[in-house]
Amino acid sequence: MAVVQNRLTDIDPQPPLLEPGHDYGTLTDKVGDIVDRKPHPRAWIVTMAVASLLLLLFLNAVGYLFVKGTGIWGINVPVAWGWAIINFVWWIGIGHAGTLISAILLLLMQDWRTSINRFAEAMTLFAVACAGMFPLLHMGRPWLFYFILPYPNTMALWPQFRSPLVWDVFAISTYATVSALFWYTGLVPDLATMRDRAKNKLAKIAFGMASLGWRGSARHWSRYEMAYLLLAGISTPLVVSVHSVVSFDFAVGIIPGWHTTIFPPYFVAGAVYAGFAMVLTLAIPIRKLYHIEDIITMKHIDNMAKVMLVTGLVVSYGYFTEAFFAWYSGNIYEKYMMFSNRMSGYYAWSYWALIFCNGFVPQFLWFKRIRSNVYALFAISIVVSIGMWLERYVIVVTSLARDFLPSSWGNYHGTIWDWATYLGTIGLFLFLFMLFIRFVPMVAIFELKALLYSQKHNGKAH
């Protein structure tokens, strides 16, 4: 009775999650060789050199900051947050894709997370490390950072628990801790694989210690699966909570442009959006450089592009509702902020650049032709990263520069030291990421094998 015209496999062919031709051994070799057999490609050395230079720039910028104080930055009295907070939110947002891929997609049983979760999580860790720099440096006296922690002290002083800035401290430190644990737990079986493969004595000892005595017994696996699932459960609310708390930093205040109820979900979507853009920015060159296109396939790239499209639409919805309700509200401050201070006025360039990058450009992702073109995707992912930075620029700078009283208005510009610190953290990020590629299997080998197993035994090598 089944009548079928135009079979689905003909009219809508899907690339596989793992290209055919692999067995368990070749998968181990393919990923493991990158770490311990093959020489590193020249591109790795060049990137590492650039990253190291930028890292030096960062150390310089921070060193000079310690000598002179935060006055070397562009911050002034109405715009006291400036680039430091923009960069903080930007980096923290980027981290979110890693957690979403590893935790939420695991719970949703999405098998396309397998090839990309390891390096996405690594990206999360390094992005959080970069993000953490900015609030600490912005304090002016970072050596007194522990003042923000609630601890019994002789001055009988407690932080203001009603301030979202204090919530941030808890949110970010929890996020960093759980992400690190999650990443490391997932690494253990592969570290043991690397230990067993290692020919060099030093590597054997190092991987041996790092793999915590993993022997791959049934009991180990059973405990591991349970621990990993629990960590995924713990990480899942963090995907939402961290950036919601970051959005409260703004929305709990009453400044027009900050105080709006859509902020929490809109920030979370923006974070995932920026994060997936960064994963694509990293994945597209890496899969080519290390010839792992058969492991990180076009299916992964396509799915990531789709997630970017969805989150990009949510973010655009955020821009749209802000503008619409500013008009609908009939409130002069809301209207002024949206129409005279963002869409027009001194900072209009940043608003329209943001709409172009985050609202217009990702619309190309509706088309399958674009989603299957890695060059186009790479370009779009870079544009989105710029757009997400601009979004935070618009939020932080335009709102603070023009608050309720015209007498307290003031314009803001980043200085060369703002640039140096920002580019410096990009250096730090790349530096850590290049080390990660060098020393740790960047794809979860044992999860690939599980994927291969399920492909073989469900009879669908689709």
Site string for other proteins, 76-115 (x = CB under 8 A): ---------------------------------x------
| Helices 82-99 & 416-439 angle (0-180, nearest 10) | 20
Residue at token pair 């070397």: 72
- Taking CB under 8 A as the binding criterion, the range among 47-55, 179-187, 406-414, 446-454 that sits at the site for other proteins is 446-454
Rounded CA-CA distance 216/219 in Å is 8
The first and second tokens of residue 21, run together, are 């031709």
CB of 30 to other proteins, least distance (A): 16
Rounded to whole angstroms, the Cα distance separating 112 from 16 reads: 10
Q: Tell me which residue of 129, 96, 118 sits closest to 185, measured CA to CA.
A: 118
How many CA atoms are closer than 13 Å to the CA of 52, on its beta-carbon side? 8
Closer of 51 and 240 to other proteins (Cβ) = 240
What count of residues does the chain have?
A: 462
What residues numbered 12-51 form the site for other proteins, per CB under 8 A?
A: 12, 24
Least Å distance between CB 10 and other proteins? 8
Distance CA 331, CA 373 (A): 46
446 near other proteins, judged by CB under 8 A: yes
> What number of chain residues touch other proteins (CB under 8 A)?
53
Q: How many angstroms separate the CA atoms of 352 and 339, rounded?
A: 12
Q: Which of 52, 70, 321, 350 binds other proteins (CB under 8 A)?
A: 321
Q: For other proteins, which is the closer residue by CB, 11 or 156?
A: 11
Q: Which of 39, 152, 213, 330 binds other proteins (CB under 8 A)?
A: 330
Q: What is the Cα–Cα distance from 22 to 41, expressed in whole angstroms?
A: 23
Q: Which residue has the tokens 């992912």?
A: 381
Q: What are phi and psi of 72, to 5 degrees?
A: -70, -20
Q: Looking at 93-101, 171-179, 205-213, 253-261, which segment touches other proteins (CB under 8 A)? A: 253-261
Q: Which of 208, 253, 285, 345 binds other proteins (CB under 8 A)?
A: 253
Interface residue with other proteins, options 48, 133, 240, 283 (CB under 8 A): 240
Nearest residue to 337 (alpha-carbon basis) of 439, 428, 261, 260: 260
| Residue 339 binding other proteins, by CB under 8 A | no
Position 127 contacts other proteins (CB under 8 A):
no
Q: How would DSSP label each residue in 429-446?
A: HHHHHHHHHHHS-SS-HH
66, 158, 349, 366: residue in contact with other proteins (rule CB under 8 A): 366
Interacting residue with other proteins among 173, 331, 340, 408 (CB under 8 A): 331
Whole-angstrom distance, CA of residue 51 vs CA of residue 434: 9
Please give the residue ranges that form the binding site for other proteins (CB under 8 A). Answer: 1-9, 11-12, 24, 109, 162, 221, 225, 240, 244, 248, 251-254, 259-265, 313, 317, 321-322, 324-325, 327-331, 366, 446-447, 449-450, 452-454, 457-458, 460, 462
